[in-house]
């Protein structure tokens, strides 16, 4: 699955998010959903304070690397 720019992320499905920090690029280990003004954990529905750079469809396979 290809990564897409965060500006194109939909709000109607679970997504895998990636962030860039001091240690490099990392994919979050849990599915997220876009909400007005930010992101929530798709399972817990709790707000997630992240500034993601890109996204792709959530997959439980875990076989794709960044």
Phi, psi (rounded to 5 degrees) for 34: -80, 135
Q: Which two tokens stand for residue 42?
A: 């798709």
Give the start-to-end residue ranges of the domains of the chain.
Answer: 11-48
- Residue 9, pLDDT score: 98
Tell me the per-residue pLDDT of 20-45, one tens digit each, with 9 for 90 and over: 999 999 999 999 999 999 999 999 99
Is the CB of residue 41 less than 8 Å from the CB of residue 30? yes
- Residue 60, pLDDT score: 72
Q: C-alpha dihedral over 26, 39, 46, 59, to 10 degrees?
A: -50
Mean pLDDT of 11-27: 95
For residue 65, is pLDDT > 80? no
Mean pLDDT of 1-15: 95
Percent of the chain residues topping a pLDDT of 90: 85
Q: How many CA atoms lie within 13 A of 50 on its CB side?
A: 28
Tokens 């599915």 label which residue? 31
């Amino acid at each position: 699955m290809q990564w897409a720019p965060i500006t194109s992320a939909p709000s109607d499905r679970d997504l895998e998010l990636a962030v860039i920090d001091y240690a490099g690029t990392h994919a979050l280990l849990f599915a997220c959903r876009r909400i007005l003004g930010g992101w929530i954990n798709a399972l817990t529905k709790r707000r997630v304070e992240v500034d993601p750079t890109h996204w792709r469809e959530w997959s439980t396979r875990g076989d794709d690397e960044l």
